[in-house]
Amino acid sequence: MSSDKPEEEAAPEAAPAELETSAETPAPPDDGPLTPEQLVDLKARAAKADDHWERLLRTTADFENLKKRAVRDRQDAVRYANESLFTKLIPVLDNFDAALAAASAAPGGAADSLRVGIQMIHAQLRGALADAGLEEVHATGQAFDPNFHEAVSHQDSTEVPDGHVLQQLRKGYKLRDRLVRPATVIVARNPAGAGSADASQTDAAK
């Protein structure tokens, strides 16, 4: 019985050790006002962060534009992949046109047979090229457009408006919306004084 009492009295001795340990741990310092040097450093860091953010936005925008341009270039490469082939085949169409004109001018049944054969081949070739996207540029009677027409001369005319195509010398072609070869044309030019001469004739008739 007497031996159990000292053990019960020894238990409270652990409390002072815990107090001593907590006393040794320093309390966190209170947040005080920033010094001028700290404010300057903080502003510099904020400015650098803003600059990095702006650079990131610009880089992202440039990357998106680059992706769009790459997609567009790839689509154009597919759409116009046969442009060089068409450039070589267009003179063949020119020769067919010339052969058809010569056959039409020649008399006799043999010329008729030749003309029919050439027409069939010509139509077949034109159809194949049209299916691939080749289109003829129609110039005769149209207003002169330097984007699609190549003028070799001007000629006075009262039948065609000034600045319009009077005659097409060589056909033009485009691959979808891209010009492959401009049409070679003669542009109409109204004679100077034609309007005044017509007016004088009208007055004389009155």
Q: Where along the chain do its domains lie?
A: 55-132, 135-193
**pTM score:** 0.51
pLDDT of residue 172: 94
Q: Which CATH code, of 3.40.50, 1.10.760, 2.40.128, 3.90.20, is assigned to 55-132?
A: 3.90.20
Rounded CA separation 82/84 (Å): 6
Query: How do the pLDDT tens digits run along the chain, 206 residues long?
Result: 444 544 555 455 544 444 444 445 454 455 668 788 888 888 888 888 888 898 888 988 888 888 888 888 777 776 777 777 788 888 888 888 888 777 777 776 667 777 777 888 888 888 888 888 889 999 999 999 999 999 999 999 999 999 999 999 999 999 888 899 999 999 999 886 444 444 444 454 44
Topology agreement, domain 55-132 and domain 135-193 = no
Listed residue (12, 162, 178, 18) closest to 83, CA to CA:
178
Instruction: Detail the DSSP E strand segments found in 87-148.
Output: 134-137
Rounded CA separation 141/11 (Å): 118
pLDDT of residue 188: 95
Q: Which CATH code, of 3.40.50.620, 2.30.22.10, 2.60.40.1180, 3.10.20.740, is assigned to 135-193?
A: 2.30.22.10
